[in-house]
Chain A
Amino acid sequence: MALPLPPGLTHAEVAFLAEMELVTVVPRQRLESIDLLGGKTPPLRPPHRTDLPLWLALLLKKQRRANILPPAWLHPASLADIIKHETKTDPHAFSPPPPAPARADPSRPGQARRQGEDDSSLLLLSAPFRPSCTADAPAGYLPYHWLEVAESLLAHAGDDVASALGASAGEVRGLLRDLVEVRAAKMRSSTAQLEGFGGGLMSLRGVGAVELAESRGFVLGVVDGVRKIGASAEAVRREEEEERGGEEGESDEEMGI
């Protein structure tokens, strides 16, 4: 019997992984570096900003030892921009993921270079290793773990979010709800692109981890259904192709002779 668990990660697992994201904190107390399995945390020296994993930042926040600086993309203006991009600018695709972090190139003034472009060992492109939720993350782009990080920050550090962004947590929450709805509707309608024969492709670029966890079962079901309906036509097409291939092979031989 097959494993009864559905494929993919559940919401709880995704949220757990999201706690590895780095966020920026402003410490209120000194704290020496902690030696953890994943490496040493930077020592905290108030009032210098430091990047910490989300779980540790939330822990310190609950103990009132630090304040969390929300990422720039959580600003209401940035969220409104993204909603506008999703609804008006490009109503058929998801808004793009953040670009790879760039750094000024000292040898070429005025030019920036993508981080890790010259040195492949530094290439950090996947979700938890890219500082996409820190204070210097670019505004207007949703990172992979956007919904999880935003929800945790609003739930546990709502006051920090409100004071740093100059907007109430309710306003930010409302914008997030709008964004979730817009993108869920897009996910539903994107299945319609599967109709074309042979061109059954859905672009999931820029889709967040929670959205994937939510829609995985449905999208896989649709793809599987379309595959089953097209299976007989596909078999016929393959046979024809093979026959044609066989003929061509014969003609090739004749040419050779």
Chain B
Amino acid sequence: MSYYDIDSILTDAEKIPCTFQVDIPDLGYLDNTPTQPLKAGTKVNLPLWLAEMLAIANTGDAEGKSFVTFDLPPALGNDVVQALKADPRAVPLRDQSAHFYGLATHMMELSEEQELAAALRKTFVTRASEVALHARKVGGVGHKGKADEGSNLGIGGAGEEFLRGLDEWERKLFRKAHDGAKSGKEWMEGVKKH
């Protein structure tokens, strides 16, 4: 991941639910009570980069408490994971988070989630082959003959809905698969010209 990777920056901006462990003065505006100090036990949604810092940093007291504890964001919640286990293709991941896999890998770095990792791996490879199938079907080379239009039938209906549910990683994958299929088609049409 490069420093200027826009997807990585946007992933860091995803909010995750955090619970403050200590009272913090002058931070009440985070909980819509600007005049009060922020009480311990308040739940606030914080961006991932901030939550990570606060969770890792030590408050310095004897118990070694950290400022906040965090839970898994709703996008990685139990019901989503269960739905993914049932049928990875049926879940529109983009509705959960546009950077679903990026968020998930980041969360897994912070806390061990063996089960989540296994479920995600299965989801990713299953959806990847579906992505490749659609990438091959969609669109032809600029000028289309009648034969090509037949191959466009895959788009629309369920196919289109599936493509709308792709997260950023899967969109990149779709683009790569589509570029490959497209250059293959272009080459195939060009063979006769030489």
Interface residues of A (CB under 8 A from B): 10-12, 15, 151-152, 155-156, 184, 187-189, 191-192, 194-195, 197, 210, 213-218, 220-222, 225-226, 228-233, 236
Known: A155-B192, A218-B135. A191 touches B128 (CB 8 A): yes
Residue pairs across A and B with Cβ atoms less than 8 A apart, 15 shown, are A11-B184, A12-B187, A15-B187, A188-B133, A189-B129, A215-B180, A216-B180, A217-B180, A221-B128, A221-B172, A221-B177, A225-B101, A226-B121, A232-B109, A232-B117
Give Cα A15–Cα B179 distance, bound, in whole angstroms.
17
Closest 6 CB pairs of A and B: A217-B176, A11-B187, A218-B177, A232-B108, A214-B180, A214-B184
A189 to chain B, nearest CB (A): 6
* A12–B193 alpha-carbon span in the complex (Å): 13
Per-position binary interface string of chain B over residues 87-130, scored 1 when its CB falls under 8 Å from any chain A CB and 0 otherwise:
00000000000000100110011001010011011101110110
Q: How far is the CA of A10 from the CA of B180 in the complex (A)?
A: 9
Q: How far is the CA of A220 from the CA of B132 in the complex (A)?
A: 13
Q: How far is the CB of B82 from chain A (nearest CB, A)?
A: 18
The residue on B at minimum CB distance from A10 is: B183
Q: Which of B141-187 contact A (CB under 8 A)?
A: 169, 172-173, 176-177, 179-181, 183-184, 186-187
CB closest chain-A residue, reference B188: A151
A229 nearest CB across to chain B (Å): 5
Chain B contact residues: over half helix, strand or loop, or mixed?
A: helix
CB distance from B194 to the nearest CB of A (A): 8
Chain B residues whose CB sits within 8 angstroms of the CB of A229 once the complex forms: 101, 104-105, 108, 117, 120-121, 124
B125-A194 in contact (CB<8A): yes
A16 CB to nearest B CB, Å: 10
CB-based A-B contact count at 8 angstroms: 99
Q: A210 vs B184: C-alpha distance in the bound complex, in angstroms? A: 8
Q: B residues bordering A, Cβ < 8 Å?
A: 101, 104-105, 108-109, 112, 114, 117-118, 120-122, 124-126, 128-129, 132-133, 135-136, 169, 172-173, 176-177, 179-181, 183-184, 186-188, 191-192
Cβ-defined contact, A192 with B129, below 8 A: yes
Asked whether, in the complex, the Cβ of A225 is within 8 Å of the Cβ of B124, the reply is: yes
Distance in angstroms from A119 CB to nearest chain B CB is: 38
Chain B nearest CB: distance from A222 CB in Å?
A: 5
A17 to chain B minimum Cβ distance, whole angstroms, is 13
Most buried by A among B112, B121, B133, B183: B121
Minimal Cβ-Cβ distance residue in A for B173 = A221
**Structural contact, B108 and A233, CB atoms closer than 8 A:** yes
B residues near A236, Cβ cutoff 8 Å: 112
* B-chain residues with CB within 8 Å of residue A11 when the two chains form the complex: 183-184, 186-187
Of A151, A155, A226, A232, most buried by chain B (CB within 10 Å of CB) is A232
Q: Is the CB of A222 within 8 A of B125?
A: yes
Q: A217 vs B188: C-alpha distance in the bound complex, in angstroms?
A: 19
Interchain CA distance A124-B191 in the complex, whole Å: 28
